[in-house]
């Protein structure tokens, strides 16, 4: 039985990967910073200490592991974290790393998120460790984390995306591909683009309205208002700048794309927005 370490286990992506690895013929370990996180991963994995500010814990977590799943949050230096994990993985004989990256990853990309992700990928690709890279597009879960409050209280959500089509991926679809890659030999050296299905924001609002049985509107907000709102939430300026770049390219249609990698790997179509909203109705119940 192989030992798999999930790094980034307590975030939305990592937790979903743990769920998909659960009950497979593998031993799963979850890297966690503190004991407070044990309860979140205990149903699916054995927690192990891992703190990026303490490199020795990364080495200790990688000891005896066959494969690693790595995901990092939005940050300015994901290449440094990847390098730390790669170093520990090589020292401990890890034979495969699955990295969740980002659509458009390119060290010379047009936006900073693409450059950050591209630099991180390059570290892994150049390491010599067999890899699988997953490049997800925008997540449907953003409706829960970023928009559910105004949907519940104002029957509306606000983004500066115009009428652009955008690909929307359910995290569960990414996790399913990750679990397959982590438990087979068929995906070594592969890079997969995971788009999800494409919609306009108006179409998404109409679907959500139908699922919830009330009118929910998409409000196309001016970019300056969006930026000011993000800053008012005390987000760091570098994060706001990177998000505004992302919104800009979405509005220009750069993310109006469909890839069939998920279907080729799983034999299924991506989870639809309707199915996602139906599964997560509780987050959008009106408080008016």
pLDDT of residue 19: 96
Does 128 lie in the same domain as 70? yes
pLDDT more than 70, % of the chain: 100
E-assigned strands of the chain?
Answer: 2-7, 26-32, 46-49, 67-70, 96-100, 131-136, 138-139, 156-159, 165-169, 190-194, 197-200, 217-220
Read off φ and ψ for residue 250, nearest 5 degrees: -60, -45
Mean pLDDT within 105-115: 94
Does 80 lie in the same domain as 211? no
Does 161 lie in the same domain as 64? no
Mean pLDDT within 191-210: 98
Query: Does the structure show a pLDDT above 80 at 86?
Result: yes
pLDDT of residue 39: 85
Mean pLDDT within 132-139: 97
Token duo for residue 240: 């706001």
E-assigned strands of 162-280?
Answer: 165-169, 190-194, 197-200, 217-220
Name the 3-class secondary structure at 274: helix
pLDDT of residue 257: 93
Does 133 lie in the same domain as 146? no
- pTM as predicted: 0.95
In a domain, 130, yes or no: yes
Read off φ and ψ for residue 145, nearest 5 degrees: -75, -30
Mean pLDDT within 169-198: 97
Domain at 280, CATH number: 3.90.25.10
Does 153 lie in the same domain as 84? no
Question: How would residue 255 be classed by pLDDT, with cut points 50, 70 and 90?
Answer: confident
- Taking only the tens place, the pLDDT of each residue in 20-66 is 999 899 999 999 998 888 888 988 999 999 999 999 999 999 999 99
Does 91 lie in the same domain as 14? yes
Does 153 lie in the same domain as 57? no
How many domains does the chain contain in total?
2
Q: Which of 84, 176, 77, 89 is nearest to 136 (CA)?
A: 176
- Taking only the tens place, the pLDDT of each residue in 180-192 is 999 999 999 999 9
Query: Does the structure show a pLDDT above 90 at 253?
Result: no
In a domain, 265, yes or no: no
pLDDT of residue 72: 94
Query: Does the structure show a pLDDT above 80 at 288?
Result: no
pLDDT of residue 266: 97
Does 149 lie in the same domain as 69? no
- Taking only the tens place, the pLDDT of each residue in 205-240 is 999 999 999 999 999 999 999 999 999 999 999 999
Residue holding tokens 């597009």?
137
Lateral strand order in the sheet of 67-70: 46-49, 26-32, 2-7, 67-70, 96-100, 131-136, 190-194
| Domain extent at residue 275 | 142-167+197-256+271-284
pLDDT of residue 42: 87
pLDDT of residue 193: 98
- Taking only the tens place, the pLDDT of each residue in 242-252 is 999 999 999 99
pLDDT of residue 38: 85
pLDDT of residue 276: 98
């Amino acid at each position: 039985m192989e030992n798999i370490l999930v790094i980034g286990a307590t975030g939305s992506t990592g937790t979903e990967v743990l769920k998909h690895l659960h009950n497979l013929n593998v031993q799963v370990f979850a890297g966690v910073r503190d004991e407070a996180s044990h309860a979140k991963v205990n149903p699916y994995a054995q927690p192990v200490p891992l703190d990026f500010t303490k490199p020795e814990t990364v080495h200790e977590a990688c000891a005896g592991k066959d494969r690693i799943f790595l995901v990092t949050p939005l940050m300015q230096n994901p290449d440094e974290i990847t390098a730390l994990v790669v170093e520990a993985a090589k020292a401990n004989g890890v034979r495969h790393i699955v990295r969740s990256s980002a659509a458009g990853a390119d060290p010379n990309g047009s936006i900073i998120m693409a450059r950050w992700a591209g630099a991180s990928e390059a570290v892994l690709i150049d390491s010599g460790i067999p890899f699988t890279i997953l490049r997800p597009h925008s997540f449907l879960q953003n409706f829960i984390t970023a928009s559910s409050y105004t949907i519940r209280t104002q029957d509306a959500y606000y983004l500066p995306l115009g009428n652009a089509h955008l690909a929307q991926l359910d995290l569960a679809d990414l996790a399913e591909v990750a679990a397959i890659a982590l438990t087979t030999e068929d995906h070594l050296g592969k890079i997969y683009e995971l788009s999800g299905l494409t919609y306009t924001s108006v179409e998404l609002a109409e679907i959500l309205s139908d699922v919830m049985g009330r009118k929910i509107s998409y409000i196309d907000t001016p970019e300056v208002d969006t930026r000011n709102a993000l800053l008012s939430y005390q987000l760091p300026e570098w994060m706001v700048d990177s998000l505004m770049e992302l919104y800009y390219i979405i509005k220009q249609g750069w993310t109006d794309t469909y890839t069939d990698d998920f279907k080729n790997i799983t034999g299924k179509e991506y989870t639809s927005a309707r199915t996602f909203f139906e599964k997560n109705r509780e987050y959008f119940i009106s408080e008016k």
